[in-house]
Structure 1
Amino acid sequence: MAAGDAPPNVPVPWGKLLQWVQEQLVVEKETDQPAALTRLQLEAISHLVSFNEEPEVGNQDYVSLLIQKVQILRLSNPVFADELPVSLPVDGHFQFRWRCVCTLAPYGVFPRDGFGFAAGQQAPLFQSKKTAKQFAAKHALAYLSDALQTLTPNLKKRPLQSSQAESPEPSPAGQAQQKKLSLSPGPPSTGGKQSIFEQVSIVVSRLGIDNPAYRIEPDPTGSGLFCGRPVFQNGGRIPSQVGVVSGIASETLAKQRIAELVLAWGEEEFQKRQRLLFKTLWGPATAKNMDKDKDKAAVVDAAQGVPGSGEAAK
């Protein structure tokens, strides 16, 4: 091998590189936005670290398994939709990666926080649309399986009281009704009325959005007032002005007001998606009837475990 073919033994200026990285971190912390790097910089970094970790999906046909499951449970067929591709640097070149969203009425969208990715993270991207679809179906199926496993939890471990021992065994019809109610999605029990922040968490989860952080700052107008906005990690489709507040007397009130605005928007957005879903699955007449009949809409909300409209005002 000629001397010119060998890798040059050049010392790397690690200190300067570390300083540059720290500067980018400061910029991102101040702006809550990714650092504005050039295409060449991103391509160079992709030689060193991966911009996307693609999870293992397995070889099972989760789409078919999910369809079989919803037919057994007499639910509506899942609706799959590919999101717009995301261009990521991979080994020095930009390539498209894909996400797929599975809408499973009345349980919401998958993948989502707790089913496909952890809190504060985004749904993973995949090299192929087919794998992305299987991933979405896999976690929708996991949600249904978890719901089935919650039927009468730890019933055998609890000692029977005298009133329970003397109660007649429920009829097959009653057992079927119990199973139907147990499968209905709903918020976790907290032993009391849910806070506005717990309601926000439930609503955004139904929309497939991560729970927001609340950024509160002194209002530029001064006078001891505060302004703020919600910060979503994977909220690319959320209008930028949702939850923005200013001129609030305290940080606590500012955070409360942001949550109220996010909750109001989330409830309205959820209803829009429900109407669109019903229109797609059952035709325009069903969606039209939902708009006219508020009581029916409230029943749908209750079945979803979504707080009813007007909660934000409280």
Structure 2
Amino acid sequence: MRRQPRPPVSLGRRAISSRRNRNRTQHHSVHRNQIQTRTRSSSSRSVAAQQRSSASPSARFYSALSSLIESAAKESRDTVIMASQSFAVPWHRIKLWVEAQEKAEQQGQTPSMTKIQLAALSQLVNFVEVEPDIGGLDYVSLLIQHIQYQNKKSNTNALALPTYQDVGLEIPINGNFNMRWRTTCSLSSVSHMVFPCEGHGISRGQQPPLFATKKASKQYAAKHALAYLKAEKSPPADTTTPVPVPAPAPTTAPAPTTAPAPPPNPISGGVSLKPATPPVLTSPKASDNSVNTGSSSLAMPPGDAGGATLVSPPPASGGVTATDEPLAEPAGSITPDAELYNGEGPSILKQVADEAKRLNFGCPTYKVVPDLEKPGCWVGTVTFQNGGRVPDNIADITGASSKGAAKMLMAEKLYKYFKTELDRRHEVINSFDPEPTERTEP
């Protein structure tokens, strides 16, 4: 209780007592009112809680629905207020800004735009085109195989292996920046061309496409490089079917006589040309519209007096063409590897399988796994059905760029080993023959 001020001295004892009693009564009245207010508030809360707990589910549902309707009505009123306060979009100023940016870009200036502006624009328009379809083939491996096949066919290294360069760009897509990739494939041995280029993967005035992954971008570049090599490859001289020229009548002059041309091939309708080197045993299998030619260049028919001049024939009505087929066909039917066989020539895997059967090693099995020491690369091993006769780790490889390239590298090693083993066996056989004779064609 607050201490009362001291009354004046002139007041009597009765006046002082009356004043004290009045103040005490007022204080008790205020305190009692506060207690009653607290009691009523607490009781009302407890009653409301009891009512909520005792209310039925339907009552609670309708209560929640009523609250939701009230909230929706309030939002609707706010929307109406915002609509009444809407403003016109300044399209004219936006067009002027776009024209200024285009003019600066045409003049070689880089438009100064922040990432926030670029992200906002990417929500309105797409910054990247749809990725072109590259198919399901491994063009990187096919390109390497094609180059090695052409080098082996011409006995030169005229075509160098391709080199790739990846460029990453941060592109805004739907308001967020994401990495996109652009890869170029360089062929130093073909006029230092870089793919894709105008006419080979891109049109005039366009940029090379962007891809979400490096792998797809690399496959796209290799695809167009391979298409260019196939299109620009001039047909070799030994792919045409020559027609014999009648030999001139012999004269008494000491001039050399012309040897008669070989008889026509009853299967293909042309002249069966043989290289000047020792003949290779060929299989009688041949198609009706193709001529089997080897990798060596054409030679004149054998003879000391020279040979007939060979000329290219006019286009035949039967459409006789030449295909790149090996001199010796395999005895068994081997399905070529889908990743490394493009129908142009014999797959290196097919050749290895044929040689393995010929040497009685059994069919090879290629195992390719990721290289743990070099992320993104592959390692490979080869096993055979008759594995005890093949040296261990004879074709193991590491650091291959893809599974197809790993198989191809292992096949190259096996092919070299098989040729060496075949020569060794021939030497062993010839050592038992005092007078070895060369094989001749029947």
Q: What's the TM-score bracket when you normalise by the shorter of the two chains?
A: 0.3 to 0.5
TM-score w.r.t. length of structure 1: 0.44
TM-score w.r.t. length of structure 2: 0.32
